Amino acid sequence: MRNPGSKKGAVVGSGGQKSKGLQGKGPTPKAAERPNHPAYKRANATAKVEQQRAQRRRAAETGPETVAGRNPVVECLRAGIPATALYVALGIDADDRVAEAVQLAASRGISVLEVQRGELDRITGGAMHQGLGLQVPPYEYAEPRDLLRIANESGIPPLLVALDGVTDPRNLGAVVRSAAAFGAHGVVLPQRRSAGITAVAWRTSAGTAARMPIAVATNLTRQLKEWAEAGLMVVGLDADGDVDVDGLELATGPLVVVVGSEGRGLSRLVRETCDQTVSIPMSAGVESLNASVAAGVVLAEIARRRRVEARA
């Protein structure tokens, strides 16, 4: 029998692993980090869904878009939106909209393809197509440097429009239309948190997106600073502006007009980059104008001031 006072040998209850037995295993992992826990499975499922959404967004940005429905298809064709194919489901009841769509597509050299209804369901992603689908290729964006070059070559002071977080394609299309109507040389969008030139934006622009150069900036704040260094003044639309549109003395010089998002307005960094912010006087009790209407008002005033100076 071993002497209980001896320092050698096993100690009762330790199994010879006393030091290991006293070592902890660290903090308990969070539920979402334990593979067999329901929270882990939910987190993985959520991450997978987000990944799939991101993949669909990237595919939508780089691949063709299919407009579905008789009215949307006819409106796109009337607006002169570039298209590569018109799909017509076999056996549909051809009304005036179908006849007009086929006639417009044929007159522009767009392929008219008859397909089975099930195939059109697949092409349009199960949308309510009413027997018509129009394939629209991805929009070809310009480079931001191209906008300034075009403006400098115009012989008049540059006028560019920048959109800061406008996510509604209808607002984007309306701003593009106003920019074209009031003499702007180009529109720039941020790469993130912005609507792109989809068929909806094309349609709302009434086809002016085909004539107005539109660029994407990787970093909008940095791009505005580059244009400021090139001699352009940066003016942001803001409800609490430094001046109202009646006092916009910068209108006749080289200018970038920045339009904020529908809800938040200008982002902090963009606001700090602006040389001046401008507001629109409104009657008491009236809600603020949306992004595209506000842009139209300010661009119209800039165009008016430039006409007056040109006549002087």
pLDDT tens string 233-261: 999 998 888 899 999 999 999 999 999 98
For residue 175, give the nearest of 300, 301, 33, 293 by alpha carbon: 293
Tokens matching residue 39? 């929270």
Q: In what order do the strands lie in the sheet with 276-279?
A: 214-217, 186-190, 159-164, 255-260, 233-237, 276-279, 243-244
Instruction: Please give the pLDDT value at position 43.
Output: 67
- For residues 64-77, average pLDDT: 87
Stretch 271-298: mean pLDDT:
88
Residues in Cβ contact with 210 at an 8 Å cutoff, skipping those fewer than 6 apart: 80, 81, 82
Q: From its phi and psi, is residue 239 left (phi > 0), alpha (psi between -120 and 50) or beta?
A: alpha
CB 132 within 8 A of CB 157: no
What number of CA atoms fall less than 13 Å from residue 231's CA on the CB side?
A: 8
Residue 227 has pLDDT above 90, yes or no: yes
* CA atoms of 312 and 309, how far apart (whole Å): 5
Q: How far apart are CA 27 and CA 19, in angstroms?
A: 19
User: In 10 A of CB 15, how many CB atoms?
Assistant: 10
Reply yes or no on whether the pLDDT at 193 is more than 80: yes
Mean pLDDT across the chain? 83
Rounded to a whole number of angstroms, the distance between the first and last alpha carbons of the chain is 118
pLDDT at residue 84, rounded to an integer:
92
**135: pLDDT strictly greater than 80:** yes
Q: How confident is the model at residue 93 (pLDDT cuts 50, 70, 90)?
A: confident
Q: What would you report as the CA-atom Rg of the chain, rounded to the nearest whole angstrom?
A: 30
Pairing of the two strands 132-136 and 65-68: antiparallel
pTM of the model as a whole: 0.70
Span 171-192, average pLDDT: 93
Residues in the chain: 312
H helices, E strands: number in the chain:
11, 11
Nearest by Cα to 294 from 284, 306, 283, 279: 279
Specify the DSSP element, H or E, that contains 270.
helix 268-273
Q: What is the DSSP letter of 230?
A: T
Query: Residue 147: is its pLDDT beyond 90?
Result: yes
Lowest mean per-residue pLDDT among 109-113, 227-231, 262-266: 262-266
